[in-house]
Amino acid sequence: MAGAIAQQTAQHLRTALGEVLRTSPEATATTLAVFERLVEVLETNADAVVFPADETVSTQQAAALLGISRMTVVRLVERGELAAKGGAVHRRISVSELARYQAESSHRRQSGIVEFADDINKDTPPDEVITTR
């Protein structure tokens, strides 16, 4: 699968990172590992997007990042499930807020699946088709 950056570019980045971070006394092994992981993700995942935590996006951009419609984002903001700045016309949503919402949504889905699975046991009757006509 093609990534967000080409393999050759990724290799150049790895080489440059290695030279800079290894010669810098402030750089730790953890720092080097983090940057190497970032390059790996960018190389292997075409959907990878890197934003500063304080970056804000429009409702349309938020919708694209979350994989939902813009109107769903607007409804989430209006219900208070997603925090946004600005008025009703030009809302801006922080990338960190999108990450929070995405993690919370994933947790809710996983909890629901676990709860549903816990309700099913050997005494649960099989599904039935009921004819209405």
What CA–CA distance (Å, rounded) separates 108 from 128?
28
* Averaged confidence pLDDT in the chain: 85
Domain boundaries of the chain, sorted by first residue: 7-44, 56-119
DSSP state of 91: -
**Average of per-residue pLDDT across 51-60:** 89
The H-or-E segment that residue 92 falls in is strand 92-94
The CATH class given to the 56-119 domain equals mainly alpha
Model confidence pTM above 0.85: no
Helix, strand, or coil (residue 85): strand
The pLDDT score that the predictor gives to residue 41 is: 86
The H-or-E segment that residue 58 falls in is strand 56-58
pLDDT > 60? residue 51:
yes
